[in-house]
Structure 1
Amino acid sequence: MNTAKDVGRAGLVAVLIAAAVTAVAARAGKDDADVVTAQFASAAPLVEGNQVKIDGVVVGSVKSLKVVDGLAEVALELDDEARPLHEDARLTIRPVSLLGERYVDLDRGSPDAPLLDEDTVIPVAQTATSVGLDEALNTVDQPTGEGLRALLSTLGEGMQGNGENVDEALRLLSPSLKDTRAMAAVLDEHNELLSRLITNFEPVASALATRDGEAMDQLVDSSDKVLTAVRERQAKLEQTLDKLPGTLRVLRTTLGNLRSAADDTAPTLAELRPLTDKLPVLATELRAFSDALDPALATSEPVLRKADELLKAAAPVAADARRAGGGLATSTDGVQRLTKAITRNREDVFNYIRYWALTTNGYDGLSHYFRAHYVVDPDTILGLLPVAGTKPSAAKPKGSGTGDKPATPKSGGLLDGLDGVLGGLLQPKGDSATGLSEQQELDLLGLLLGGK
């Protein structure tokens, strides 16, 4: 019995301890709640306790609001579900309903962006406040309200009984609205470009608005003149547009050929690249050469004057050479034929000159002497020996007018034979000892001595 009571008491004590620990942990977690601070240009609709949502899910509340350096600094107490937050996280104050209650819409940021540090304040560039209906209505004064009321009344009267026409118009406008949506999407992607365009156009608009719109009037008049000229030349413009497809085809072909030429030129340009790399060095050397050439050019005037005098003196010589050109051509033709003949028989000519030089190059105390080479064989020696008997004299022709005398016998001997041999070797042919004509001897002598 006592044991059961002790067990019950121990269980009760354990439950109380667990509850106390849970309470302390909850309080500690509440004290250490995740707080993010953001700056707003205006946080007037917010109050402490307003909710913080991500995609419509409550993940925290507004803890405090204060003004720092003219900006509203809002501290947001976030749950763990709101994490992780990135550096490009955005906060927008939106209305909960038409009654004016607000909440803070939280966008965690891009997953690729770095994580937001705990002490980092989200700048005002990443916060915004949506305009509520009550704020829009507060901006409408009485005249504007009356104008809106008249506009709505007129629209209501115009729509009365024309529902089918409006429905048909909306149906016909549906494709255009789709195109408009696509155009809006494109413009949204180029929002920054459009902003720069508007910013750049603002000075132009300001300039057009000067002088009570006179510049704008001039622009409109010029545009009207341009449009009038275009309308007057519409026929020629249409003809030009008709020729445009053919021109574009020719242009496409030309561009294709140009691409082929560029492909063929690319290797050449690649081979020329090393040369172009050396062009600075070449330019430096040319600059040094030009610097060295300047003094020479500065002192070249006397040389040029002397050259001019020499050219003037050479003019008569050139004229004489021009007049003698005909005879020179004839002589050149003859020399050419002679050269060809000598070329064809050059071996015989060289042998003749060589043999003649070998024959006449010996000399003694008096003068040069002539060499001769004679081959003696047994027949020649036997022919020199004396022969027995006498030689019969040749018969004289009849009617010679002289008395016939008997021939005196003459004994033959060695000298008689030598006389016949030497006579045959040394007897010149003709009147020249060389067997050449006088002119040929002179030409050969001139050739050997190097003269004319």
Structure 2
Amino acid sequence: MIVLGLLGLGMTLVFTFIGFNAPNSIPGRGYYNLEAEFTDADNVAPHAQVRLGGKIVGQVLRPRVEDGKAIVDLQLDPKYKPLKSDSIVEVRPRSAVGVRYVDIVQGSAGSPLGEGDRIPAQNTRATRALDEVLGTFDPASRIRTQQLLQELGRGFQARGEDLNDTIGAAPELLRRTDSVLGTIADRTDSAGNLVRGAAIAATSADPVKEEIRAGFAPEAKALRPFSDQGNDLRSTLDKAPPALATLSGRLPTVNRFVTELEGLSQRVRPVLRASPAAFKQTSALLSEARPGLRDANVTLRRANAAVLPTLRLLDAVRPVLPQLESTLDNSAPTVDRLGRYGCDFIAWGRRWTDALTYGNSLGGYLRFNVMTPTPESVTGLEGGLAGVGAATLNRSPYPRPCESQTETATPSGGTINGEPGN
């Protein structure tokens, strides 16, 4: 009985010891132990939950202070071993009454953390609880904040899914929020100014809230194609850096071009000053030229119809052009010779028309006399004519140009070969 009593007492002590240490560790079970260093652990208590991806993976042990830093032990389930050195450890509130838990955002590019390794302070952070944030406001600011939250609640009513989509599409924005709020908290008057400014903006926007709401519709419609074609936009952004690098390499050439263009613009400036008046005159000219342009349109249409026949004529004439050129070359001396006697041809025409006004009794107007060739017909007649006293004629069968009009006329009543002279 004494042995059984001692055995029972020993088992009781063992179970008491196990039960006493069970919150810290369970005998026979393995753990993955790490340390985390915080600049501000935000009142993390022993046995606070450690979560990874929303799941409870361990607990906090032995919160303490070493060299002005908060150090906590993280007792984790070994199946999550090893974490990477770029993992982020963050103290977050579980509720609005001050209960905290530690959240781990698992890294992917760092080196593996071994048993007992410490996560440095640059990879840890702590969020501010809502009660602490509101505690920095004075009573008037807290009332205004309450009103702001109420109005925000009305604004987000029935828009939970849209809010979830926004939060899901902007994780980076939410990660940066703590640094922005930390900057505001470092300045004692910034938070109050921020809230007062937000209240003024909300009051100013309240009368036109419906217009503002409707005003976002065009922007939403304009941005919808970017959302629908997200893959194409992502591909464009991926290709943008090489394109920008190439463009930056071409910038010196572009700079020279811009410099030359600037000089050109300065030289063109006087011309541009005169351009308005010139444009007005051109406009007036075009207005006055409308009838002529209409006639020119008709002419151009007719010319268009004549293009093909002209081309056919040129194709037909092209083979004989060498012969025609030779003929024209041979005719050039004759034409040049005759051209000198232009006034004689004109005089001949005038005398021919005078001759046609006379006729014989038979109605004939043209008479041809066949003369026996004599030396005079070749060398010209020099001396007196038969039946004509002292009258003389000085005539040459080949007079110089316009010389025949200056010759001495035959006296009235004289006869040449039995015909009256004139």
Range class of TM-score, shorter chain: 0.3 to 0.5
Structure 1 or 2: more helix by fraction: 1
Question: Which structure ranks higher in relative contact order (CA pairs < 8 Å, sequence separation ≥ 6)?
Answer: 2
TM-score by length of 2: 0.33
The structure with the largest alpha-carbon Rg is 1
